A and B are shown apart, each in its own frame.
Chain A
Amino acid sequence: MSTIVSLPDQATARVPKRNYITEENGLLSWLLTGDHKRIAMLYMGSITFFFFIGGAMAGLIRLELLTPMSDLMASDTYNKVFTMHGIVMIFLFLVPSVPATLGNFLIPIMIGARDLAFPKINLLSWYLYLAGGALALYAMITGGVDTGWTFTTPLSTHYVNTNVVTTGLAIFVAGFSSIFTGLNFIVTIHRMRAPGMTWFKLPLFCWANYAAAILMVLGTPVVAIAFVLVLLERTIGIGVFDPQKGGDPLLFQHLFWFYSHPAVYIMILPGMGVISEVISTFARKRVFGYTAVAFSSVAIAVFGFFVWAHHMFIMGISNYAMLVFSLLTMLVAVPSAIKIFNWSFTLYKGSITFETPMLYAFGFMGLFTIGGLTGVFLGTSGTDIHLTETYFIVAHFHFVMVGGMLMAFLSGIHFWWPKMTGRMYPEKISQLAAVVTFIGFNFTFFPQFLLGMLGMPRRYAAYPPEFQVLNVFSSAGASILGVGYLLPMLYLVWSLKYGEVAGNNPWQATGLEWQTQSPPLTENFKEIPIVTQDVYDYEWLERQKEHEVTQVG
């Protein structure tokens, strides 16, 4: 089945002695490193940790919802659990997932640079992330927080007695980590491309991360300000969001969604970048309509800033404001449709193989299409009234975030695993994991669309008994999904020692990262490459191979 992989002869093959992992030893060499690849690995470890915390919360939520009564947890506990699930998964897993791990590791190599522009700021961003994560954990252990991840005022400012301040600070600090990462990416992509690496020779993964970086830099400060205002209101009562003092409680939601809607694109755009790379590689074809895909990322980033009020259609915003925001929401749906069709047509006249990253990518395309289309149901104002704040919206964003982003993340992790570690993951079991994840995912979240249509509100610890059957389906699916996530965890760790040696370019892919050794040297390249080939230039790759053969011959 896997005909691409032409691994080096296992008897003689070994991982290159000198690489970024073996360059220096000792804990301090990791904790004080400026190497983007090591920082990426640090990030990978920490986000995996938080993913499993968030996942455990999800498990508790699904267990509670197995029965209509709130019998596993008191409703206060349930509220804390779903709040922490949202906060951990969004701010500590999804936002940093692809950019901070894969992006950190790959962007400099893809553009032919030795490191990111600001290695120390890159390390600082990891420490800020850890500080934010530690604060969030501290808040969780010392009583938790029950505002929902949306921190709606005046509930968060005046009416709950939990760790709002600590959690708000945690998000504030973690936000700066994401601003620094974004800043680093923008400067690096602008200034540090190798000779000959023009903008239109950039891999689409770089374009996508570039667009996400712009969102991070422009959007995150706004949510940071919003959280500062919440904290000030809570501690000294400045009254910005308090109607009794002439403030406006709805203002908070404007500020919050001004970041948190673009944040959705911060989460999904890098994932789309991964899919572009994976589909091209396993179809052995240039991405169909490269420029359209590249610019659709930028279009999503730009339009993404002007749709925030579609979260507030039922909140008494003016009818005419609704018209503008609903229209812009429709426009932002178009670039996503373009991407899906362009990826599909990349397969046309390709030479397709079905390794694990490709299976995850197919999963992404199916689930993201459903997630995107159901988003249109919510962007359409008339139907949004019925569907918003129900399980429909829960299902919708899990299709986009989990079905989309997490699938893309896993696809990317498998795809670049040989590059990052020098070793292959086991193919058969990982294909199984991809299929299990896909099945488990649909089982978990599809019933939630039906629940939402029927009107079941989100964030309910107890619900009317007629919704139980669908909830049981959903909880059953979640257990399958859990297995799907545990499997990669196990076999990827196993492969660190026992995986087959990968060699430089196991997938015969065209990106610069595949033209250097695996794992790469600390300085990435012995000499900075001069880029003469086009992006996704498989013919160039063939010529290179022939060239090598004749030289050896």
Chain B
Amino acid sequence: MNHISPVLWQYLVKWLTNFAVIPPEASTIAPQVDALLIFMTLVSLVGLTLVALIITTFCIMYRREKSPVATQIEGSTLLEATWTIIPLGLFLIMFVWGSVLYFRIYTPPTNAMNIYIVGKQWMWKAEHPGGQHEINSLHVPIGKPVQLTLISQDVFHSFSIPAFRVKREAIPGRYTTVWFEATKTGTYHLFCTQYCGTAHSAMIGDIVVQTPEEYKLWLSSSTSGVSLAQNGERLFASLSCGACHNGQPDARGPNLGHVFGSKLTLTTGQNVLVDEAYLRQAILNPSAHITQGFAPIMPTYQGQISEEGLISLVEYIKALNLNERIQQTTNTTELLPEVPEGPKAKSAATAAQGVAKP
């Protein structure tokens, strides 16, 4: 008891002095979610009070001592219709309101900066485009939409930031996204909320929200020196992807320049939009994603590239949109193992670093 009580007392006092029923509101979406939560709580309280009042009143008025004989009543269509339609109406309001919020939370704005999150038993790894790697923490700037692209290396995890009111499952083999815009600096909880095995409750971390200046400082002091796209370029070379994807008219693989965001027609006749998820799948399971006009000769890379490696490759292919450099890439293959440096990779890195508005 001795070692519990002082701690407990301390928290009891703390809890009583600043009693909180909701976590801090630290993102743009948080007040909107809270408004709906407050609305629903009010409706629930009114409903509950109503039921309690009806029951209590009837129990007092019609208890055996006062009402020795019951009057049989069949029912009342009017009353029953009332308590069918009113709750239905209220529930439908909540449905529409909630759906609007849901679409908002899961539809990132186009100008959002993207950070990759890889979940594994039992840690969160954050991969910033500029080559900053973090474990069990995530630094984000205030006032800038941040999109998280999540994937899990093993089992289901769930990336939850209560202070932002956002949460998204990290699924093995599939990218999921969520976004937020932080509004208050500080350090907030990051939880894994999907049960993921032994150390599930240790899979927690900190979300550090900084001012743009602090964030800039953090970016420059934490970078590994190699941006994701640069790292991808190296992987691209070491896996000899350029042997086929060399951008030449007679190449055996499709040209990857400007492929990101474009629409491809596959040999199956299917039209697909090339996004991160498609690129990832096309690398891991190429035979199911053959672009029309090409032979199914690409080997699978399942199990050969880590999730971080895949992210780097995807970022590299995305970066190819910035300027056509596929030709040069094939050349850098010969330059290995030297670190290839190009204006493209740099620009990607600076793009990531320069997002913080002053």
Whether the pair A75, B36 counts as a contact (CB closer than 8 A) is: no
CA distance A458 to B87 in the complex (A): 30
A249 within 8 A of B: yes
Q: Is the CB of A469 within 8 A of B12?
A: yes
B244: interface (CB < 8 Å) = no
Given A314-B169, A334-B84, is A383 in contact with B121 using a C-beta cutoff of 8 Å? no
Q: Which residue of A lies closest to B198 (CB)?
A: A76
Does A258 belong to the interface (CB within 8 Å)? Answer: no
Contacts of A158 in B (CB 8 A): 154-155
The smallest C-beta distance from B34 to any residue of chain A, in angstroms, reads 9
Interface centre among B12, B48, B75 (most CB of A within 10 A): B75
- Surface stretch bound by A, among B55-63, B139-147, B218-226: B55-63
Within 8 A of A (CB), among B203-234: 204
Question: If A330-B92, A377-B37, A453-B21 touch, does A344 touch B54 (CB 8 Å cutoff)?
Answer: yes
B149 to A: closest C-beta gap in Å: 11
- Please tell me which stretch of A27-35, A122-130, A350-358 contacts chain B, meaning at least 4 of its Cβ atoms lie within 8 angstroms of it: A350-358
User: Quick check: B121 and A159 within 8 Å, CB to CB?
Assistant: yes
B186 at the interface (CB under 8 A from A): no
- A residues near B340, Cβ cutoff 8 Å: none
Asked if residues B48 and A352 are in contact (CB atoms below 8 Å), the reply is no
Q: Which interface residue of B68, B71, B155, B176 has the most chain A CB atoms within 10 A?
A: B155
Contact indicator B160/A290 (Cβ below 8 Å): no
A195 at the interface (CB under 8 A from B): no
Are A383 and B155 CB-contacts (below 8 A) given A160-B197, A289-B80, A314-B168?
Answer: no
Interface size class of B (residues with CB under 8 A): 35 or more
Assess A330 versus B95: contact at CB under 8 Å? Given A79-B200, A385-B166, A453-B21: yes
Q: Name which of B96-104, B235-243, B257-265 contacts chain A.
A: B96-104
The answer to whether B70 touches A351, judged by C-beta atoms less than 8 angstroms apart, is yes
Given known A-B contacts A155-B196, A316-B171, A288 and B73 have beta carbons under 8 A apart: yes
**CB atoms of B97 and A286 under 8 A apart:** no
The answer to whether A352 and B76 have CB atoms under 8 Å apart is: no
User: How far apart are A264's CB and chain B's nearest CB, in angstroms?
Assistant: 18
Q: Known: A244-B173, A323-B99. Is A249-B64 also a contact (CB below 8 A)?
A: no
CB of B69 within 8 A of CB of A351, answer: yes
The verdict on B268 contacting chain A, using a C-beta distance below 8 Å, is: no
**Which of B8, B52, B121, B163 is close to A472, meaning CB atoms less than 8 Å apart?**
B8
Q: Which of A285, A345, A461, A465 contacts B11 (CB 8 A)?
A: A465
Complex Cα–Cα for A353 and B62 (A): 9
CB distance from A116 to the nearest CB of B (A): 31
Contacts of A342 in B (CB 8 A): 75, 80
- Looking across the interface, which residue of chain B has its beta carbon closest to that of A388? B167
Q: Mark A309-327, 1 if CB is under 8 A from B, else 0.
A: 0000111100100110011
Q: Is the CB of B51 within 8 A of A344?
A: yes
B28 CB → nearest A CB, Å: 14
Q: Which residues of B contact A461 (CB under 8 A)?
A: 200-201
**Cβ of A464 under 8 Å from chain B:** yes
**Does B195 belong to the interface (CB within 8 Å)?**
yes
B313 in the interface (beta carbon within 8 A)? no
Residues of B within 8 A of A333 (CB): 87, 91
A366 to B80, CA, bound (A): 20
Cβ contacts under 8 Å, A330 to chain B: 88, 91-92, 94-95
A155 in contact with B156 (CB, 8 Å): yes
B103 touches A319 (CB 8 A): yes
Within 8 A of B (CB), among A368-414: 369-370, 373-374, 376-377, 379-386, 388-390
Q: Is B2 an interface residue (CB 8 A)?
A: no
Please give me the residue from chain A that is nearest to B166 by CB atom. Answer: A385
Among B36, B55, B199, max chain A CB count under 10 A is at B55
B47 in the interface (beta carbon within 8 A): yes
Interface residues of A in 151-166 (CB under 8 A from B): 152, 154-155, 158-160
Q: Quick check: is A3 within 8 A (CB to CB) of the other chain?
A: yes
Contact check, B67 vs A349: say whether CB atoms are below 8 A apart: yes
What residues on B are CB-neighbors of A249 within 8 Å? 156, 171-173
Chain A's closest residue to B176 (CB) is A316
B128 within 8 A of A: no
CA distance A152 to B157 in the complex (A): 11
- Chain B residues contacting A450 (CB-CB under 8 Å) are 21
Chain B residues contacting A225 (CB-CB under 8 Å) are none
Q: Which residues of A contact B83 (CB under 8 A)?
A: 337-338, 341
Are the CB atoms of B200 and A75 closer together than 8 Å?
A: yes
Tell me how far the C-beta of A392 lies from the nearest C-beta in chain B, rounded to whole angstroms.
10
Q: Report how far A189 CA is from B87 CA in the complex, Å.
A: 32
Residue ID in chain B nearest A316 by CB atoms: B176
B160 touches A285 (CB 8 A): no
Residue of B whose beta carbon sits closest to that of A328: B95
Closest B residue, CB atoms, query A465: B11
User: For the complex, is B136 an interface residue (Cβ under 8 Å from A)?
Assistant: no
A327 touches B95 (CB 8 A): yes
In the bound complex, how far is the Cα of B43 from the Cα of A75, in angstroms? 39
- B64 with A337: CB separation less than 8 A: no
- Closest CB in chain A relative to B162 CB, distance in Å: 3
**Does A292 lie at the interface of the complex (its beta carbon under 8 Å from any beta carbon of B)?**
yes
Chain A residues 279 to 316 lying within 8 A of chain B, measured CB to CB, are 283-286, 288-292, 313-316
Give min CB distance, A537 to chain B, whole Å: 8
Decide if A457 is an interface residue (CB 8 Å cutoff): yes
Is A243 positioned at the interface, with any CB of B under 8 Å from its CB? yes
Establish whether residues B106 and A460, one from each chain, have CB atoms under 8 Å apart when the complex forms: no
Tell whether, in the assembled complex, residue B88 and residue A334 are in contact, meaning their CB atoms are under 8 Å apart.
yes
Q: Are B8 and A469 in contact (CB under 8 A)?
A: yes
Interface hub of B70, B92, B197 (most chain A Cβ within 10 A): B70
Q: Tell me if A499 is interfacial: C-beta within 8 Å of chain B.
A: no
Q: From A313, which residue of chain B is reached at the shortest CB distance?
A: B102
A contact residues around B194 at 8 Å (CB): 152, 389
Alpha-carbon distance A345/B62, docked complex (angstroms): 11
What A residues does B200 contact at CB under 8 A?
75, 79, 459-461
Which one, B70, B74, B192, contacts A538 given CB within 8 A? B70
Q: A365-B55, A455-B191, A468-B11 are in contact. Are A389 and B158 (CB under 8 A)?
A: yes
- A337→B155 CA distance, assembly (Å): 38
User: Which residue of chain A has the shortest Cβ distance to B74 in the bound complex?
Assistant: A286
Hey, what's the 0/1 contact readout for B156-185 against A, CB within 8 Å counting as 1? 101010110111110111101000000000
Contact yes or no, A246 B12, CB < 8 A: no
Is there an interface contact between B67 and A350, defined as CB atoms closer than 8 Å?
Answer: yes
Contact residues in A for B166 (Cβ distance below 8 Å): 385-386
Task: Tell whether, in the assembled complex, residue B171 and residue A385 are in contact, meaning their CB atoms are under 8 Å apart.
Answer: no
Tell me if A167 is interfacial: C-beta within 8 Å of chain B: no
B303 at the interface (CB under 8 A from A): yes
In the bound complex, what is the Cα–Cα distance between A322 and B105 (angstroms)? 13
In the bound complex, CA of A388 to CA of B167 (Å): 9
Whether B23 is near chain A, meaning CB under 8 Å from some CB there, is yes
Q: Does A546 contact B (CB under 8 A)?
A: no
Taking a contact as CB atoms under 8 Å apart, the answer to whether A383 and B70 are in contact is no
Structural contact, A315 and B102, CB atoms closer than 8 A: no
Contact A243 B173 (CB under 8 A): yes
Roughly how many angstroms separate A362 CA and B63 CA in the complex, as a whole number?
14
B48 engages A292 (CB within 8 Å): no
Indicate whether B72 reaches chain A with its CB closer than 8 angstroms. yes
On whether the beta carbons of A389 and B58 are closer than 8 Å, the reply is no
Q: How far is the CA of A244 from the CA of B303 in the complex (A)?
A: 8
Question: Is B193 in the interface zone, CB < 8 Å from A?
Answer: yes
- Give chain A residues whose Cβ lies under 8 Å from the Cβ of B158: 314, 389
Give 5 closest A-B pairs by Cβ, nearest first. A455-B162, A382-B101, A243-B173, A380-B98, A289-B75
Query: 27 interchain pairs (CB within 8 A)?
Result: A75-B199, A75-B202, A76-B198, A152-B195, A155-B156, A249-B156, A283-B70, A289-B75, A341-B83, A345-B76, A349-B62, A352-B58, A352-B62, A354-B59, A369-B47, A373-B43, A377-B44, A380-B98, A382-B33, A383-B37, A389-B158, A455-B23, A455-B160, A457-B160, A460-B201, A464-B204, A468-B8
Given contact pairs A243-B173, A351-B63, A385-B101, a sample of 16 additional A-B residue pairs in the complex whose CB atoms are under 8 Å apart? A3-B64, A79-B197, A243-B174, A284-B69, A289-B80, A334-B84, A337-B87, A348-B73, A354-B63, A362-B55, A376-B40, A382-B100, A382-B105, A383-B101, A461-B200, A538-B72
